Amino acid sequence: MKKNILLCIAAVSVFSFNIYSQKTKLANADKKYDNYAYIDAIKTYEKVAEKGYKSAPMFEKIGNAYYFNGELEKAVKWYAELFAMPDTTIEAPYYYRYAQSLRAIGDNDKADQILKEFEKISANDSRAKLFKANTNYLDEIKANSGRYKIENAAINSQYSDYGSSFYNNKIVFTSARDTGSLGQRKHTWTDQHFTNLYSADLGEDMTPSNPVKFNRDLKSKFNEATPVFTKDGKTVYFTRNNYLKGKKGKNENGITLVKLYKATLEGENWTNIQPLSFTSDSFSTAHPTLSPDEKTLYFASDMPGTLGLSDIFKVQINEDGSFGTPVNLGPTINTEGRETFPFVSQENELYFASDGHPGVGGLDIFMSKINDDGSLNRVQNIGMDANSPKDDFAYIIDTKSRKGFLSSNRDGGQGYDDIYQFLETRKLICEQELYGEITDSESKMPLPNAKVTLFDKRMKVLKTVNADEKGAYSFMVECSNMYTVRAEKEDYNTNEKQVSIPYENGKTYLPIALEKDQCKVTIGDDLGKCFGIRNIYFDLDKSNIRTEAALDLEKILDVLNQYPNMKLDIRSHTDSRASFKYNEALSDRRAKSTIDWLIKNGVSPDRLTGKGYGEIQLVNRCADGVKCTEEEHQMNRRSEFIITAL
């Protein structure tokens, strides 16, 4: 932007700028279920862990059980065990849960330490740190380009024209053009006239024409610029030099800065011109814009609390017309450079100009989506065509027609700064539908009304829905972001999955299966399925109980102790490789070793039977002479704990 545009706004050196799951309860067996036993797997895991057995998946499950039930003090113990496991890769969500649990017991120092690790892990994805590290930003600008058809509007002069606003089928804009009046004054620094507000009619195709001075009521001896009007057309907020009723305000250095002013329409006259209450002689405020509900005013300023040369702020407009305290939009938007010329669309998108965010030169135009809670999504450069190597700023758009205006001093213009009209042919925000089904992990059946929660990369809740009758859910999410989806259902263990959304419009599929938190078993069922026990592991060609096998047998032992009338038939199977006789003998020795371990640990021998079946009960086609994969053979190598009495 050339020097004149800076001066008409301000002095050149200053202003050119929870847990949602319910507690698991064991079902009380009634007469209808006399032949069933309900196994609380988590309690069994905990008892096994108390005996000194260590397993990262087991600690995850116990910690999660308490975390999702809101018992964070208890969760600390088990997450601590998880983090103490040597040579274990721990996923990012566990850092967050552990830190939150530590906060619950007042260990904030440890929580902060864990959160730092969480931040480090979460930020490792290159898409999540695109702008933070300024890597590949030109690729994103290129991807966002080619979305605009732009042409010079037919209302420009040889002087500076910029900063338009919609008003009653017109645009009102800022201009330094000379209308020939003897009273026109020029700024000595630029030999440009002070700016005034002009209006132009908008045709059916949104093309402006017939520019004329807007209204004498708002004109002063100095600069007026960048207005915004309420929808009823009865109130205007605008930028003006610090001048009212013939009196100039100056800062401590004797410089007259700029302020935001307000005026109201009475009949055909704009009256009651007053500076806004939060403005000051000591700093500049300029370029107002309104939120869609007109309850929030956004503006640019270098007031105290500014992070850079100029920042974007917002302030609440109270019902009585008074104002709250201005709030800096923070580092998501503001940098050490200049952020200025904000505009909020009817779709709650904040557009602004900046030279602090990665761009293609000078001031570029950027956009950030404003969420319902007031938070702001990551900033995106709106792309080339709209942006040029020069200064591009003062973007406005009609979201219904996708037509609008921006200002620029790019090459090929008519004046110092020109207004350009555009048609946006493709929306900037890259969105995807994140969808899937919530199912029972064993039966694969859908789980209707399961609670599904969407989190951002910092584990902040974005949205919660209930799955439909087919267990289906969906969220609209932004491309290039990392999300976590949590699924919850009564009588099931809560499950979470992380997903990275690619940078392309479309859909991302994320199904989530939930395990029952209680195993319902009856005579003839395999107790091992409650705990995912497919095989009791032995050393090769031996029948000695290995450490990992003892961990699984402890679970079986705990259930037998809970149900003293339960009896088991322990069956050991092999695949078809090796001889029939060898497999039968080996599996039989292993079944008996399993029984001996349980008896040694207190189970009465009359409650246990067992046999090795070798390869005679294969579950698939992998008999002798049939070529099978290792995975297919593994299906036949299994241990079963069949309930024979309850």
Residue 262: other Cβ atoms inside 10 A = 18
- pLDDT, residue 523, reads 94
Q: What is the pLDDT of residue 7?
A: 33
* More confident call, 25 vs 415: 415
Q: Facing residues of 240 across strands?
A: 224, 259
Whose CA is closest to 529, among 644, 618, 639? 639
Does the pLDDT at position 21 exceed 80? Answer: no
Question: In this predicted structure, what is the pLDDT of residue 214?
Answer: 93
Top pLDDT among 483 and 28 is at 483
- Residue 107 in tokens: 């260990």
What's the confidence (pLDDT) of residue 36? Answer: 56
Residues whose CB is less than 8 angstroms from the CB of residue 540 and which lie 6 or more positions away in sequence, other chains included:
none
Across the chain, what does the average pLDDT equal?
84
How many angstroms separate the CA atoms of 48 and 52, rounded? 7
Q: What crossing angle do the helices spanning 72-84 and 56-68 adopt, rounded to 10°?
A: 160
pLDDT bucket at 446, cuts 50 / 70 / 90: very high
The 10s digit of each residue's pLDDT in 249-291 is 788 888 888 999 999 999 999 999 999 999 999 999 999 999 9
Instruction: Annotate 316-325 with b (16+ C-beta within 10 A) or e (fewer).
Output: ebeeeeebee
Q: What is the pLDDT of residue 180?
A: 45
For residue 579, name the pLDDT band (cuts at 50, 70, 90). Answer: confident
Query: Which pairs with CB-CB distance under 8 Å and at least 24 residues apart come from 475-478?
Result: 475/433, 475/434, 475/435, 476/431, 476/432, 476/433, 476/434, 477/431, 477/432, 477/433, 477/434, 477/501, 477/508, 478/369, 478/377, 478/378, 478/429, 478/430, 478/431, 478/432
What are the DSSP E strand ranges found in 176-319? 186-187, 192-193, 196-202, 208-213, 224-229, 235-241, 243-244, 247-248, 258-266, 269-275, 285-290, 296-301, 311-316
When pLDDT is averaged across residues 608-613 and rounded to a whole number, the result is 92
The closest of 216, 192, 264, 156 to 9, measured between CA atoms, is 192
pLDDT band at 136 (very low <50, low <70, confident <90, very high): low
pLDDT of residue 69: 64
Instruction: Give residue 178's pLDDT.
Output: 65
Band (pLDDT 50/70/90 cuts) for residue 126 is: very low
| pLDDT score at 184 | 54
β-partners of residue 400 are none
Question: pLDDT category, 13, cuts 50, 70, 90?
Answer: very low
- Percent of the chain scoring above 70 in pLDDT: 87
Residues with Cβ within 8 Å of 520's Cβ and at least 6 positions away in sequence, in order, are 33, 36, 37, 38
Residue 461 CA, distance from chain mean position = 8
Residues across the chain = 646
Give the containing element (helix H, strand E) for 499.
strand 495-500
Tell me the pLDDT band of 610, cut-offs 50, 70 and 90.
very high
pLDDT band at 398, cuts 50/70/90?
A: very high
Mutual angle of helices 92-104 and 56-68, in 10-degree steps? 50
Report H helices in 316-380.
none
pLDDT band at 418 (very low <50, low <70, confident <90, very high): very high
Geometric angle at alpha carbon 573, from 569 and 574, rounded to 5°: 170
**Predicted pLDDT at 5:** 36
Confidence check: pLDDT of 216 > 90: no
- Report the pLDDT value the prediction gives residue 30, as an integer from 0 to 100: 32
131-166 exposure pattern, b = at least 16 Cβ within 10 A, e = fewer: beeeeebeebbebbbebbebebbebbbebbbbbbbb
Read out DSSP for 400-443? Answer: TTTEEEEEE--TT-SSSBEEEEEEESS-S--EEEEEEEEEETTT
The mean per-residue pLDDT over the stretch 587-614 comes to: 92
Cα(605)–Cα(553) distance, rounded to whole angstroms? 16
Q: What is the pLDDT, as a whole number, of residue 2?
A: 41
**Identity (one letter) of the amino acid at 597?**
W
In what helix (H) or strand (E) does residue 463 lie, and over which residues does it extend?
Answer: strand 461-466
**Is it the case that residue 248 has pLDDT exceeding 80?**
no
Q: How many other CB atoms are there within 10 angstroms of residue 85's CB atom?
A: 13
| Residues whose CB is less than 8 angstroms from the CB of residue 214 and which lie 6 or more positions away in sequence, other chains included | 172, 196, 197, 198, 199
pLDDT of 143 strictly over 90: no
Sequence-distant (≥ 6) Cβ neighbours of residue 336 within 8 angstroms? 307, 308, 309, 356
User: With pLDDT > 90 as the criterion, what percentage of the chain qualifies?
Assistant: 48
pLDDT of res. 538: 64
Q: What is the pLDDT of residues 493-525, one digit of tens each?
A: 999 999 999 877 789 999 999 988 888 889 999
Q: Cα angle at 571 between 579 and 37, to 5 degrees?
A: 160
Query: Please, which pLDDT band fits residue 185 given cuts at 50, 70 and 90?
Result: low
Q: How far apart are CA 600 and CA 244, in angstroms?
A: 96
Query: What confidence tier does 124 reach under pLDDT thresholds 50, 70, 90?
Result: very low
Least reliable range by pLDDT among 30-39, 173-182, 278-287: 30-39
- The per-residue pLDDT for 33 is 35
pLDDT digits (tens, 9 = 90+) for 449-498: 999 999 988 888 999 999 999 999 999 998 878 899 999 999 899 999 99
HSE of 495 in the Cβ direction (CA atoms, 13 Å)?
19
Per-residue pLDDT of 285-322, as tens digits, reads: 999 999 999 999 999 999 999 988 899 999 999 999 99
Residue 82 pLDDT class (50, 70, 90 cuts): very high
Going by the DSSP 8-state scheme, the letter that residue 368 receives in this structure is: E
DSSP class per residue in 530-555? GGT-----B-TT--PBPHHHHHHHHH
State the pLDDT at residue 254.
82
Cβ atoms 510, 477 nearer than 8 A: no
pLDDT value of position 256: 80
Q: What is the pLDDT of residue 197?
A: 95
Mean pLDDT is lowest, of 120-134, 432-446, 593-607, for 120-134
Read off the amino acid at residue 105.
I
Q: For residues 480 and 366, which has the higher predicted lDDT (pLDDT)? A: 366
Which helix (H) or strand (E) segment is 632 a member of? helix 630-636
Q: Which residues pair with 370 in a beta bridge?
A: 376
Whether the predicted pLDDT of 145 surpasses 50: yes
Q: Coil, helix or strand for 182?
A: coil
| pLDDT tens digit sequence for 534-574 | 777 665 566 677 777 788 899 999 999 999 999 999 998 88
